[in-house]
Amino acid sequence: MPLPSILIHEYVSGGGWPEPSLPKGLANEGLSMLQALLADFRTWGGCQVITTRDRRLSHLSLSADQIIDLDPEQHSSTLSHIASQCSAALVIAPESKGILANLSASIESRGALLLGSSSGSIFVTANKWNCHQLFVRAGLPTPDTWCVKLHETEAMAEKIGFPLVIKPVDGVGCEGVSLLTDICSIRVALSENIFWKDSLLLQQYIQGDPISVALLVTENDSLFLSLNRQTIEIGSSFSYMGGEVPFACDRHQEAVSLAKQAVALVPGLKGYIGVDLMVTNHGCYLIEINPRITTSYIGLRRVVNINLAEAIWAVATRDVFPKKISLSGKAIFKKEELI
């Protein structure tokens, strides 16, 4: 019996980037996640691995059974055709501008099984305002947040009071996130960042440790994998600098419990999911749900006792969790060291 074929597609290096020149560093986090996933699926050996590559990167070596070069102009149509020929697909893409949700919806329409969240659940969680409202309605702790029109930002921030965090409604990572301390910092943030929608979020600034909880999620349950520290440089613009897996935290159980409660609020979340929180001396606060493979995968695969690719397949296809998860050692990675 032939092995199932799995398409693993990373948006930027896989031919989805529409601009004439590719971003500096090729969006290193996405490419590093792609390399890690390809290596883990090949090590597992339970499938035939197909991946895509931007035709401008024909020199880039990828560990797959088949590599298909794509042109940005034909990215959507060609990717849909490839997906229709595969048993399953796993997408690495940003949530911003609906990219991840739309790619996932296209793959669903072609009949391939998503080794991750449904497009509907991605549409919900990619919108940070929707996510915040879900947390509030469920009575889960989350920073006070306001959705405001661009032209109302200054007046609303003065009314709320500083310090505040400004962020896009559907950004990814630290994209467009800034610390506001006065009116001048608002003007700087608005001039230096592109907000794709006519609204943005103002959020109560909470000082603490930014962490993520990595989970495997099935239709009705979730399994804790690791608690990870995010190294974030806070200032006029936030910058994601890397991570630490695992991270020892006095509020470990509280953080894990909140993360599991959060994902249970959204039907359709599946596979590898990350939940971002802030941990303070007074408690934990939910920030957002990442309905996809996150950068923590790069560190976690180095210290976990299982093959994460095999585990993702089992969760997505059979709703089966690994029998036992254990971590050994610590993995610290820096953004500038990623591929």
Map out the domains of the chain with their CATH numbers. 5-115 (3.40.50.11770), 144-204 (3.30.1490.20), 209-337 (3.30.470.20)
CA–CA distances in Å: residue 322 to residues 4, 64, 292, 309, 314:
20, 25, 19, 11, 8
Contacts of 118 (CB under 8 A, 6+ apart): 104, 108, 268, 269, 270
User: What order do you get walking across the sheet with 113-114 strand by strand?
Assistant: 66-70, 48-54, 5-10, 88-92, 113-114
- pLDDT band, residue 96 (cuts 50/70/90): confident
Q: How far apart (Å, rounded) are the C-alpha atoms in residues 27 and 173?
A: 12
Cβ atoms within 10 Å of 223's Cβ, excluding its own: 15
Tens digits of residue pLDDT in 217-246: 999 999 999 999 998 888 777 888 889 999
- Statement: residue 25 has pLDDT above 80: no
Tens digits of residue pLDDT in 46-64: 999 999 999 999 988 999 9
**Which tokens hold the place of 208?**
């603490």
Predicted pLDDT of residue 23: 78
Q: How far apart (Å, rounded) are the C-alpha atoms in residues 324 and 214?
A: 15
Cβ atoms within 10 Å of 42's Cβ, excluding its own: 14
pTM to 2 decimal places: 0.95
* E strand or H helix at 184: helix 183-192
Predicted pLDDT of residue 122: 97
Identity (one letter) of the amino acid at 41?
Answer: F
Predicted pLDDT of residue 339: 57
CB 40 within 8 A of CB 309: yes
